[in-house]
Structure 1
Amino acid sequence: MVERVRVTDLAAFAHQDVPFEQLVHALQPARSLARHPLFQVMIVLQNNAVASLDLPGVVARPVDGEGGAAKFDLGFNFVERTGPDGGPVGIELTVEYSADLFDESTVRRIGERLVRLLTAGTADPAMPLGRLDILGDGEREQLLTGWNDTGRTLELPAAVEEGPESETIAGLFAAQVARTPDALALVAGDTRLTYAELEARSAALAGLLAARGVGRGDVVAVAVPRSADLTVALLAAIRAGAAYLPIELDYPAERVAHMLADAAPAVVVTTSGALGALPVGAAANLVVLDGPGTREEAEAALGTAVLPGPLPDSPAYVIYTSGSTGLPKGVVVPHRGIVNRLLWMQDAYRIGPDDRVLQKTPSGFDVSVWEFFWPLVTGAVQVVAEPGGHRDPAYLARLIQDAGVTTTHFVPSMLEVFLAEPQAARCTGLRRVLCSGEALPTGLRERFRALLPAGLHNLYGPTEASVDVTAWDCAEESAAAVVPIGRPVWNTRTYVLDAALAPAPVGSGGELYLGGVQLAHGYLGRAGLTAERFVADPYGPPGSRLYRTGDLARITAAGVLEYLGRTDDQVKIRGRRVELGEIEHALTRHPLVGSAVVTARTTPSGVTLAAYVTSAGPGRAPDPAALRDHLTGVLPDHMVPVHYTLIDAVPVTPNGKVDRKALPEPELLERAPGRAPRDGTETALCEIFAELLGHPTVSIDDNFFELGGHSLLATRLISMVRDRLGAGMSVVSIFEAPTVAALALRLADADAAGPLSRLLPLRSGGTGAPVFCVHPLGGLSWPYAGLAEHLPADVGLYGLQSAGIGDDEPLPATVEEMAADYVARIRTVQARGPYRLLGWSLGGRVAHAMAGLLEAAGQEVELLALLDAYPRTEPEPAASFSEEDFLRGILAAIGMDADELGGPVEFGRVMAAMRASGKELAGLTEEQLRRLQRVMANSFRVEAGSVTGRCRAGAVMFAATVDPAGEPGDWLQHIEGDLEIHSVAAAHNDLMRPAPLAGIGAVLAKKLARTAPVDRA
């Protein structure tokens, strides 16, 4: 018996006339009302006789519904037709569709394919459904060959010598050198090299590599910061016949060690400043570009070395990408593929001597390959961005304008923040901007076109296919929400295939496969993985291969490819490929983790990673903060999850696979209680941090990057601070002062004492003993803030600044007087040792004197770091220091030459230039600037008149090798411990620039890795 339902609440009828789709929308607000709420496709089979309805007093007759509104997105109406004798004669099919969602041609194709499917199925009922062919006459040929008709004979430029090498990067470069030897080839800061000079430097280094045993097919690792030397080293490796392996210096040491062990390079090329970023014993065969005797060895080898040079099928480079098995894998790309890519690019976009191409992409990201070599094989100029500059849109906008850059690349997420930079609109000299690495939203394309007159081009391709294999000119209109990835380039083939490797019909989704000349050889030393991803091509020439991209795509009726997503767990974060399995493997290496699952989440702040872990056993729950620290030591920062959630067990589907949909909402890291905001600026910053990073609350001690921030979000933070507080700052400021408290100091009123305080917290907090940095001759410790991103997260950083900048207090007369003052100040932060001291220039001598005073008080000095500082054994007269000397120093600090002022070097002009620069000094008032001049003049007198004493501690010395100011060994007479000397390939005044600072920071980070206890009582 069926029980009837009694309605006891008449209010249930109050909205009975509301359309059902509105009810569904109320329950599912995110659901579009453009589609039917229950289902999208209706199939009806009319196989009964003529319908009849006999009721007293009622007459019923059929009404033709043609011309009415479609009730569903698609409706398939099958009607059996009978003959005169009443027997069946066939089935008539009518397709009804919503004109808002489909056009007639699409529906007609669907209907035709359905007819072919039914016809083939009835002809051979035993045929598996997946093998029934639904492609029409000519459609298969168009999919397989018509739109893949990309064959092109490469027209190589006239080479110095005809032969196989002319079809390599080395050959293309040699041909260009022969055509334009005296033309400008490269600009990197103050370095300018012609093609002949670049050829000579790379030839000398190639000769040295050959003399060290490098030959055709070898691998040469290049661990050099972005600079002219980096380009020289890459060219030299290639000219020696080897493949270059780029080593990014900010990668964790364990990752770098794996890459070097896996690739087994014949030689590692590096610099003295970058040596600290390499693992101990990384390579027995090192070439240190700025090391003693390297230049002489290269010049000697140039005349005797035999350079076999590469062949078209020789590997050109090896780039490591994220690996699903837990370790990164090296992709081996031959010259033949990248040369095809470069020559197609030149034919498509045409650059020449009046073009300047920006090289800003890190060398470990394959987009950098064409940034390095496209300009150098076409006669254009390569403009090199400073290390770290790719993260700062304000810097990039200035560089594009100042250097006359005409061509550059952005991943879409970076393009978005670049367009938000006010100075971007001034980059009207850009002629072409290329995008790749992520899907390009149509809205972003429109914002670009509204702001800049340059052409925008969307490219697509994996590292395994020589950077890019398809291209789309964004001047062509497309109604899709994501800009198409376009059509295949020269000598490449693209197929959208189903699971049986059959071509997917036009408009249908499938996995994208790539074929043609640009395919990589495979994965270095990974034959099994190579065979899995590079499969036989059933449609190409005998012996040809296809690369399985794992990307979903479809082909439009015009033969244009549209990207639809992924078939696996791979994601792109800021343009970089990330295999979630690699992160999961890294997590399970922690002794307290049993199993791990990592997911990618799209949030308003971008794609973020969430980790879920189970405990390795009862009572062994891992601490989320410890997991993050563990991953930071083995993975690049873009692969470190933001969220960490402890779960009892990993949920699985009935077939045993991980059920990611059943995972709970990720948890934010628990943070130690922090201080509440103390004023309006800190309150606003806390609100901005919380809104941008998705946290309910933020304290003034919370670190932007530890909360999940990264360089792209930092640019959004700048914009929000500018909009809400009316204050400007740089991306570097956030790296230097990543907490609300520290950032608020940076934003303080120019008249306030915050940034000019005598003891400036550059990064407060931490459980380890902090590093105290003594100012150089200028009196300010701001330049040391850049050390923060290189030192361990638990190490605080403080700057000691000179008296007399924030007010008119008396100035010290001797180094000893300075040292006594600064010792008293640091002991207000750290009552007892061990102490860590660092000083640059005059600051080094002061730090040495502080060490002596602390030791006399019974305290231990654990670290004494001297940055190009030298002892003085007898007093000397102070060097002259005029107002013009001071103002020229200010111009140098903001990166200007005196002849750019448009007039004499005087206070007013320099003040205006300083404020327009946007650099840190721009916030100083004229009164503060004049105080700074007074302080510097006093520093020159103090430095000259004080004699260096002696301390018991040892010291680590960083000596600038460009125009050295002294002999590092002189310190042995003034210390009792050991002296450790590191050469830095830079001038004295450039030590705090990103590249030298990264090398110094890497050395210091290793020394500070073992946390020393700190007593802040």
Structure 2
Amino acid sequence: MTPSFASPAPLDPAQHGLWVTERTLDTGSAYHLGLALHFRGPLDPAALAVAWADHVRATPVLAARTDPAGPGLVPGEAPPLRQVTAAPDDLGKLRDEETAARFGPDEALIRATLFTTAPDHHLLLVVAHHLVFDGESKDLLVTGLAQAYRAVTGEGRPPSSAGASAPPPPVSETAVKDAARFWADRWRDSPAPALPGLTAHHADPVTPAPGSACGFRRDGEWHARLVTTAATLGVTRFELLTAAWHTLLLRYGNTAPATAIELSTRVPGAPRQTGLHVNELPLFTHPRPDLTFADFAHEVRAELRALYAHRTVPLSRAVRGLTPRTALCPVSLSYRRRDTSRPADFGPGLDVRTEWTGFARTARNIAHLQLVDGPDSLEGSLQYRTAAFESEAPACVLDHFLTLLDGALAAPDTALGLLPVLPPRERATLVADTTRAPGNAPATLPELFAAQAAATPDAVAVIEGDTTLTYAELDAAVRRRAHRLRAQGAGPGALVGIALPRSAAQLVAVLGTLTAGAAYLPLDPEHPAERLAFLRADSGITLETAADPGPEDLDRLPDAPSAPAPPARTDPAYVLYTSGSTGVPKGVEVSHAALANLLAALRDTTGTGSGSRWLGLTSLSFDISTVELFLPLVTGGTVVLVPEGRHRDGTALAELVDRHRLTHVQATPSGWRTLLAAGLHAPELVALTGGEALPDALARELHTAVGRLVNVYGPTETTVWSTAAALGPDDPVTIGRPLANTRTYVLDARLQPLPQGLTGELYIGGDGVAHGYRGRPGLTASRFVPDPYGPPGARLYRTGDLVRLTADGRIAFAGRSDTQVKVRGHRIELGEIDTALGSHSQVAQAATVLREAPDGEPGRLVAYVVPAPTGVPPTPETLRDHLARRLPAAALPDAYVTLDAMPLTPNGKLDRSALPEPPRERTTGETPVADASDEGVTGTVLAIWRDVLDLDDLGPDEDLFDLGGHSLTVTAIAGRIRKEYGVAVPFDVFFDSPTVHGVAACVAALIEENQ
């Protein structure tokens, strides 16, 4: 008797969920399952067509149609086998089209096409809808079709109805309630995981999208090892493979992997049936790097066994509010174990090869790993959303999976964090030293400068206002200064404090110190006295420059004593203090060799040479000043010094660029905003930007104003800049590639290299690595570690910066791994601010965060304090004054918020993400007395201030800086005023008269002058 089912047949829970999803989302071919049989030999197409019809009639679920009246299946006639003659070159395109073609409402949910490419070469392509088909149904179809074909050709018996489908038993309410309890504390929606080469095109990772696939096959001894290892560990092959997949996800940085798993709902021992007999459920695991693979495989086994108890209950029945989706997790896995390795027996003379892992070119989620495990082989296919990955990344994922699996099979007692992930060739590429230039910097800075002075004695070396110094004049002044320092005891091993403002005298003092063989320590006169006192005491300076170095340094005397013997390359050149995470600043000691290598590398990167003119903009206490001051002086160029106090005046800086025809300017993104707001237009200028992240929008704006844009990156501990990216107008912003003689690695917590596209910590090695932290051997050892991939004795600096490698090998910045932040180019440890706040007698607890601003604008530092239980809570003015005596201006918070208690995580740690947004409030008690609707200049200026500061009730006598204003705010206000009235308000006005009334009075005077 031919099996049949009622008309119409209701859908079971799994089918119903799929049916609803198809009518909610545009699923395309996401639920199409493909199966291909390659025939070589004397196939009889007519006999195969009869066999096809016989098999489908024997398995009536295959001929079913969807019920147009609602969720159900109705019986139908077996669809005929379509026969197509095709050229071999056209076969791929025809297969794709046939696999993707949708099933019509009146069509059977399966179809078959026989493509004939030669008399003895045929391909049978079967496409079935998941409503009536699953992985095991493929086995049943191939076996049943082969039996039917042999019967038609007289080689066997007629087919039986063993593959017919019977409706599964209904899911009981008790089972649903048990599943609901099981999932109550397990289920969670999962974000897109970290995967190599994953792009930003995955806003909804569990909906269908155009897909691609790549595959692998392993057999022979390899497969035997898989079977033996699973048996030895006491787990199934499925459990072992699933443990390997989750281990790989862990090594990619996913500490709590989630994978949707297809589980069979067939009853063990029951007749095998064609149809949809799988249910997808999520598997959540918690692998730890120190756990052995063997132990983790048992944990996976236990979690899978827990899932098996609820395999018949769709998750949508157990979890309320689950929206329709084609996958439960962004990544999924299916495993099917085939019982026989014998090819399908279609009769004598026919060689048949079956493709079990067909793909219909629509991905249900980000990535799906399909595994088909036979008695002597394992086949796999990674099916993925095409737009979500860089082109080569999915193949790399499979390579990593197989490499890790090889390691686990060879040594299952290995810790998860130590299993190999990278194939040897990929690993070698990631750790290769590609920037080595042995003769790049053979001399120290004093030698390089002296040689340049001898070569171009009459060229202009320095411009300060109306004063110029030739190379000969500067060299003579430097040598005189060096001899005087030597007479005062400053030679090799000494440290000289430089407490001078930016000027030619400061430059002579610095070069004189280096020429004397000593190192210099910047002591910025604008820094708080308490901080400077700490630096003097902690560094152990030998002597300090006087406020007035002596006029004889700059006198144009005809000659000077010969320079002392140059310092050794290993001698320190300077010590520069950076913010400390423990609240104590730390001094980074940089050698002459590191400084010389930087200058040589940037000479080539920036195209600096004779005739180049650099802007000397940055404070000596900021290490990028070394580039501005020294690079032009060792290449025959000129440094144009910005007058002290004018470095925040964008208009004045733009005028310097224009007047002196500057070729190179280096600034932070914040500094470039100031220059752009002042109307900078310098088509021949090389612009270096670094010190903080460069927003894409700012990069695009800079390209319209300058000739060439170079984004540079580097911590003080590796000598200013370590990488550089020459950015074109349409290039994505990255920090580029390492400079000459610099090694960069993206590593995990165990110093293992990570694949391209994965986020890890950036480690920097090579010639730029500093000696360490002066007088802090313990701290030095913790941050400067042995380089496992470099020459003997080489060290790496742990930057704490998170980065990833792009497909073409550039480094993309991804944030910080700790509480260090960059504010207007200054590296600031939030812990240092917290410590300083905590030292106030009225503060019990303190925490500081950087609140990001929209559109790439600089963020705001916000301090949160819990007052001491006794006494009066401190006011913002009190806290600001307290910090101003201890911290540099860049580290002063923009706002202060008082809390009753700090928010904590469940384990009792500070929950920074739960700190509230600061209110927009003033630090003065004045009441606004004017309205922006007032006519005249004051009303217009007031309206501009209110708009820029986002304060609707700002008054005309309130202090700009008490309201949180800073140099960028000033720039924005000045730019708006210039656009409104055509006048440029000098920046000094904003600092001298920082109120609307004060600025408006200046604007009115400028308008009158122009009339």
TM (normalized to structure 2)? 0.64
Match of 2:448 among 160, 172, 176: 172
- Of residues 437, 444, 460, the one that matches 1:152 is 437
C-alpha contact 2:582 2:835 (8 A) present in aligned 1: yes
* 1:330 to partner: Cα distance: 1.4
Q: Is the 8 A contact 1:167 1:311 kept in 2?
A: no
Residue in 1 that maps onto 2:744: 494
* Aligned CA distance change for structure 1 residues 133 and 467 (closer, same or farther; 3 Å): same
Closer/same/farther in 2, CA of residues 631 and 683 from structure 1, 3 Å limit: farther
Question: C-alpha separation between the residues in 2 aligned to 1:116 and 1:125?
Answer: 13
Would you say 1:230 and 2:506 are equivalent positions?
A: yes
1:614 matched to 2:866: yes
SS at match of 1:371: helix
Distance 1:655 1:132, change over 3 A: same
The equivalent of 1:742 in structure 2 is: 998
2:527 is aligned to 251
**Which residue in the other structure is 2:178 paired with?**
none
Q: Structure 1 residues 62 and 730 mapped into 2: Cα distance closer, same or farther (>3 Å)?
A: farther
1:430-579 pair list within 5 angstroms: 430=685, 432-452=686-706, 454-475=707-728, 478=731, 480=732, 483-579=733-829
Alpha-carbon distance in 2 for matches of 1:533, 1:670:
40
Q: 1:267 aligns with which of 520, 523, 543?
A: 543
Q: Go from structure 1 to structure 2 and tell me whether the alpha carbon gap of 1:500 and 1:34 turns closer, same or farther (over 3 Å shift).
A: closer
Matching of residues 797-836 of structure 1 within 5 Å: none
Partner of 2:492: helix, strand, or coil? coil
Change (3 A) 1:684 1:352: same
- Residue of structure 2 aligned with 1:376, choices 624, 628, 633: 633
- Deviation at residue 440 of structure 1 after TM alignment: 1.9
Give the equivalent residue in structure 2 for 1:662: 914
Whether 1:644 aligns to 2:905 is: no
Q: In the aligned structure 2, how far is the partner of 1:619 from the partner of 1:225?
A: 41
User: Which of 862, 881, 905 pairs up with 1:653?
Assistant: 905
| Contact kept in structure 2, 1:253 and 1:633, CA below 8 Å | yes
Q: How many angstroms apart in 2 are the aligned matches of 1:532 and 1:236?
A: 34
Alignment correspondent of 1:211: 487
State the partner residue of 2:138: none
**Aligned ranges for residues 746-825 of structure 1 at < 5 Å?**
746-748=1002-1004
Q: Which letter maps to 1:450?
A: T
TM alignment of 1:190-209, pairs within 5 A: 190-209=466-485
Structure 2 residue 625 is matched with structure 1 residue 365 = no
* Structure 1, unaligned runs of 5 or more: 1-15, 26-31, 157-165, 273-287, 752-922, 927-1017
Greater Rg over alpha carbons, structure: 2
Q: 2: CA distance between counterparts of 1:596 and 1:155? A: 48
**Whole-angstrom CA distance in 2 between matches of 1:691 and 1:123:** 66
CA distance in 1, matches of 2:725, 2:773: 29
1:399 aligns with 2:656: yes
Which of the residues 327, 336, 339 maps onto 2:596? 339
* Paired residues, number: 687
For 2:206 and 2:897, locate their aligned partners in 1 and report how far apart those are by CA, in whole Å: 35
Contact 2:928 2:953 in 1 (8 A): no
In the TM superposition, what whole-angstrom CA distance separates every residue of 1:853-908 from its partner, at most 9, and x where no partner exists? xxxxxxxxxxxxxxxxxxxxxxxxxxxxxxxxxxxxxxxxxxxxxxxxxxxxxxxx
Cα pair distance change 1:93/1:696, threshold 3 Å: farther
Deviation at 1:546, TM superposition (A): 0.7
Is 1:102 equivalent to 2:318 in the alignment?
no
Change (3 A) 1:119 1:695: farther
CA–CA separation in structure 2 for the residues paired with 1:202 and 1:51: 90
CA distance in 2, matches of 1:310, 1:155: 18
Summarize the Cα distance change of 1:194–1:532 in structure 2 as closer, same or farther, 3 Å threshold. Answer: same
Would you say 1:732 and 2:988 are equivalent positions? Answer: yes
Shift of the 375–727 alpha-carbon distance from structure 1 to 2, 3 Å rule, reads closer
How many angstroms apart in 2 are the aligned matches of 1:749 and 1:204?
Answer: 49
TM-superposed deviation, 1:450: 2.8
Amino acid paired to 2:700: E
Task: Report the alpha carbon displacement of residue 198 of structure 1 after superposing the two structures with TM.
Answer: 0.3
Call closer, same or farther: CA 1:695–1:261 in 2, change over 3 Å.
Answer: farther
**RMSD of aligned Cα (Å):** 3.4
Aligned ranges for residues 577-726 of structure 1 at < 5 Å?
Answer: 577-604=827-854, 605-667=857-919, 668-677=921-930, 679-680=934-935, 681-724=937-980
Distance 1:168 1:672 in 2: 57
SS at match of 2:647: helix
Shift of 1:51: 10
Q: Does the aligned pair in 2 maintain the 1:189–1:384 contact within 8 Å?
A: yes
Matches within 5 A, 1:22-37: 35-36=203-204
Q: Is the 8 A contact 1:78 1:93 kept in 2?
A: no
Shift of 1:620: 3.1
**Deviation string for 1:714-749 (max 9, x for gaps)?**
111212233455543132221122111211211225
| 1:132 aligned residue (408, 416, 419) | 419
CA distance in 2, matches of 1:924, 1:174: 50
Gaps of 5+ in 2: 1-21, 28-187, 190-199, 209-256, 281-324, 343-372
Cα gap change, 1:241 to 1:59, in 2 (>3 Å): closer
C-alpha offsets along residues 438-464 of structure 1, whole Å, 9 cap, x if unaligned? 122233222222333x11111111111
- What is the letter of the counterpart of residue 48 of structure 1? S
Contact 2:772 2:780 in 1 (8 A): yes
1:18, CA displacement in angstroms?
8.4
Instruction: Give per-residue Cα distances to partners, 1:320-379, cap 9 Å, x unaligned.
Output: 111122232211111000101111222333323322111111111111101111111111
Aligned mates of 1:175, 1:391 — CA distance in 2 = 35
The question of whether the paired residues in 1 share the 8 Å contact of 2:668 and 2:692 is answered with: yes
- Given the superposition, is the C-alpha separation of residues 241 and 61 from structure 1 closer, same or farther in structure 2, using an over 3 Å criterion? closer
- Asked whether 1:289 is paired with 2:539, we answer no
Report the AA paired with residue 217 of structure 1. G
2:407 paired with 1:120: yes
Tell whether the 8 Å contact from 2:970 to 2:990 is kept in structure 1 after alignment: yes
**Alignment counterpart, residue 264 of structure 2, candidates 48, 65, 68:** 48
Shift of 1:76: 3.3
- Quickly say closer, same or farther: Cα 1:560–1:384, change in 2 above 3 A: same
Q: Is the 8 A contact 1:73 1:98 kept in 2?
A: no
Secondary structure of the corresponding residue to residue 629 of structure 1: helix
TM-score, normalised with respect to structure 1:
0.63
Deviation at 1:433, TM superposition (A): 1.4
Paired with 2:665 and 2:851, the residues of 1 have a C-alpha distance of 29
The 8 Å contact of residues 479 and 563 in structure 2, kept in 1 or not, is answered as no
Q: Is the 8 A contact 1:515 1:537 kept in 2?
A: yes
Preserved CA contact (<8 Å) 1:734 1:743: yes
Task: State whether structure 2 residue 665 is matched by structure 1 residue 408.
Answer: yes
Matching residue's letter, 2:775 = G
Q: Give the whole-Å Cα distance in 2 for the aligned partners of 1:356 and 1:366.
A: 19
Partners of 1:78 and 1:111 in 2: CA distance: 15
- Between 568-577 and 107-116, the greater mean CA deviation after superposition: 107-116
- Any conservation in 1 of the 2:762–2:798 contact (CA below 8 Å)? yes
Per-residue Cα deviation, 1:257-291 (whole angstroms, up to 9, x for no partner)? 2212222322221434xxxxxxxxxxxxxxx435x
